[in-house]
Homo-oligomer: A and B are copies of this chain.
Amino acid sequence: MSAASLDVIGLGNAIVDVLAPAADAFLTRHGISKGTMTLIDAERAESLYAAMGPAVETSGGSAANTIAGIASLGGSAAFIGRVKDDVLGKVFTHDIRALGVRYETSMATEGAPTARCLILVTPDAQRSMNTFLGASQALGPDDVDETLVASASITYLEGYLWDPPEAKQAFRKAMDTAKKNGRRVAFSLSDPFCVDRYRTEFRELINKQAIDILFANEHELCALYQVGGFDEALQAARGRVPMAALTRSEKGSVIIAGNEIHVVDAVPPTRLVDSTGAGDLYAAGFLYGLAHGRPLPACGKLASLCAAEAISHMGPRPETSLKALAARHGL
């Protein structure tokens, strides 16, 4: 196995986020479950957008945000995910490439438009996401450049895209390629709704040791092992997955790796504005640290700092250089 020339390659949905503040009553009125992600069709996207307040647009997508974070930390990263050749597709492509990320997935020239996610941000800074997947779903195994995957220290996959059969094939191809080349595979459970849908398959991936590093929040891990509390879920995960970073919002996170276990405090954000992207940026900090051989507690601290940056403003992508931010915090 040769030295990795890339820190991380991410595979996931290529989405433009449309973010608007909303009152709790808006969520109730429109049947939106707070804090989760719901898939919507074009018609619902239209009607929900019409009902939403004034919005801002910014590139998003869970794994894409993580990859953007790694690039902002100064890491070398690539992304695989599909947009259409339309205005939002160009926005997505610009934003990720402008960070120095290698992003070469061909644009769809027909079919559904570029994916968008309508995000309602309530006064408690929670985000409730409504995703029209559009062109994002059209990812297939042919989009997975094996040479590129083989060159990355870690291949990172978001559970959100574990749905269309072609995309699953793309994920499996990427996992196989990484493993064959002695690289590590990281996987995010993404959302309790994803876990409910694919519990058996996610557990199988873990049991087959296809996943080296698991990212999950408390709710997702509890859903995976169908247990009621965090500690129970933690015990279920221990020994089953080589490494896991388990996030608990303001309670911080717990990192497990074999017999090692670290309890990491959250970093309080300078302002509590919008939690969109907090988990994605946590993963960015953690994977950057890991790819650069830092000890696990240092990876956790960097992860928490990156998450706090994401929470301090509207939108999931870092607003400032994470590299400079980390340096100011001695990380």
Contact surface of A with B, Cβ cutoff 8 Å: 20-21, 49-50, 52-59, 68, 86-88, 91, 94-96, 98-99, 270-271, 313-315, 317, 319-320
A87 to B88, CA, bound (A): 8
Q: Is the CB of B56 within 8 A of A315?
A: yes
User: Taking the nearest CB of chain B, how far is it from the CB of A226, in angstroms?
Assistant: 39
Are A54 and B87 in contact, with the CB atoms below 8 A? no
In the bound complex, do residue B50 and residue A94 qualify as a contact, i.e. CB atoms below 8 Å apart? Answer: yes
Q: Given A98-B52, A271-B271, A91 and B314 touching (CB < 8 A)?
A: no
Known contacts A87-B86, A271-B271, A314-B313; is A21 also within 8 Å of B319 by CB? yes
Report the bound CA distance from A284 to B271 in whole Å: 26
Task: State how many angstroms separate the Cβ of A314 from the closest Cβ of chain B.
Answer: 7
Beta-carbon contact of B317 and A54 below 8 Å = yes
Please, which residue of chain B has its CB at the minimum distance from the CB of A56?
B58
Q: Which of B52, B55, B56, B68 contacts A54 (CB 8 A)?
A: B68
A55–B95 CB distance below 8 A? yes
State whether A55 touches B94 (Cβ < 8 A): yes
Query: Which chain B residues border A53 with CB–CB below 8 Å?
Result: 98-99
Bound state CA distance, A55 and B59, in angstroms?
8
Asked whether A54 and B98 contact (CB < 8 A) given A87-B87, A271-B271, A319-B21, the answer is: yes
- Which residue on B lies nearest to A52, using beta carbons? B98
List residues of chain B with CB within 8 A of the CB of A271.
Answer: 270-271
- Specify which chain B residues have a CB less than 8 angstroms from the CB of A99 in the assembled complex: 53-54
16 contacts between A and B (CB under 8 A): A20-B98, A21-B319, A21-B320, A50-B94, A53-B98, A54-B94, A54-B96, A54-B98, A54-B99, A55-B95, A56-B56, A56-B57, A57-B58, A87-B87, A271-B271, A313-B313
* Distance of A19 from chain B, by nearest CB (Å): 9
Chain B residues in 8 Å Cβ range of A21? 319-320
Contacts A54-B99, A87-B87, A315-B56 given; indicate if A94 touches B320 (C-beta within 8 A). Answer: no
Known: A49-B94, A270-B271, A314-B314. 11 other contacts (CB 8 A): A20-B98, A21-B320, A50-B94, A54-B68, A55-B58, A55-B94, A56-B57, A56-B58, A56-B315, A57-B57, A271-B271
Which residues from chain B contact A50 at a C-beta distance below 8 Å?
A: 94
Task: State the Cβ distance, A135 to closest chain B Cβ, in Å.
Answer: 14
A314 to B315, alpha carbons, bound, how many Å? Answer: 11
User: What's the Cα separation between A52 and B54 when bound, in Å?
Assistant: 25
A20 partner residues in chain B, CB cutoff 8 A? 98
The 8 lowest CB-CB distance pairs between A and B, nearest first, are A57-B57, A54-B95, A87-B87, A56-B58, A54-B98, A53-B98, A54-B99, A56-B56
Q: In whole Å, how far is A158's beta carbon from the nearest beta carbon of chain B?
A: 19
Q: How far is B320's CA from A59's CA once the two chains are assembled, in angstroms? A: 22
Cβ–Cβ < 8 Å partners of A88 in chain B: 87
Cα–Cα, bound, A96→B95 (Å): 25
- A44 CB to nearest chain B CB (Å): 16
